[in-house]
Amino acid sequence: MVVHNIRIKRYKNETGMKEIFGEIYKPQGKNIKNFLPDFYNLFYWLFFSSEIFIFITAILKIIDIMNTGISFCNSKNMLYIIFIMLFNIISIFFTLKFRRCYFKKYECLLSK
C-alpha cells in the first residue's frame, strides 16, 4: 500500500505507471484471502496449513493410541499429544483472529 501510494504521487497519471510497472499489485479490490502481497500471503498460508497438519496428526495419534488398548490416563504420550493439540487449537484460533483484525485495519486504511 505504501509503495502504491508513492507510485501514485510520483506518476500522476495511470498510463505512466502502467508503462513502467505493468499490471502489478494494487491494494484495491482485495479480500481477506489475498489482501497481502503474494510473498507474505504465501508464508501465511504455509504456516496456517502447517498448523492444520499438526492438528490432524495429533488427532490421528490419539486415535492410534486408543486403538492399541492403552489406557487413556496411563499413557504419558497422550498428555503430551493433548497439550500439543490444545496449543494448536489456540494457535489456529489466534491466526484466524489476527488475519481478520489486520484485514479490517487494511480496509480502514484503504478507505481513507
Instruction: Encode pLDDT of 3-32 as tens digits.
Output: 777 777 777 766 667 777 666 666 777 888
Q: How far apart are CA 14 and CA 23, in angstroms?
A: 11
Q: Are residues 70 and 23 in the same domain?
A: no
Cell of 59: 488427532
Distance, in Å, from the CA atom of 99 to the CA atom of 111, rounded to the nearest integer, reads: 18
Question: Is the same domain home to 53 and 107?
Answer: yes
Structural domain tally of the chain? 2
With cut-offs at 50, 70 and 90, classify the pLDDT of residue 51: very high
Span 61-110, pLDDT tens digits:
878 877 877 666 666 777 787 888 899 999 999 999 999 998 898 888 87
Q: Which residue has the cell 483472529?
A: 97
Same domain, 15 and 53: no
This model's pTM is above 0.85: no
User: 35 and 65 share a domain?
Assistant: yes
Lowest mean pLDDT among 14-18, 31-35, 43-47: 14-18
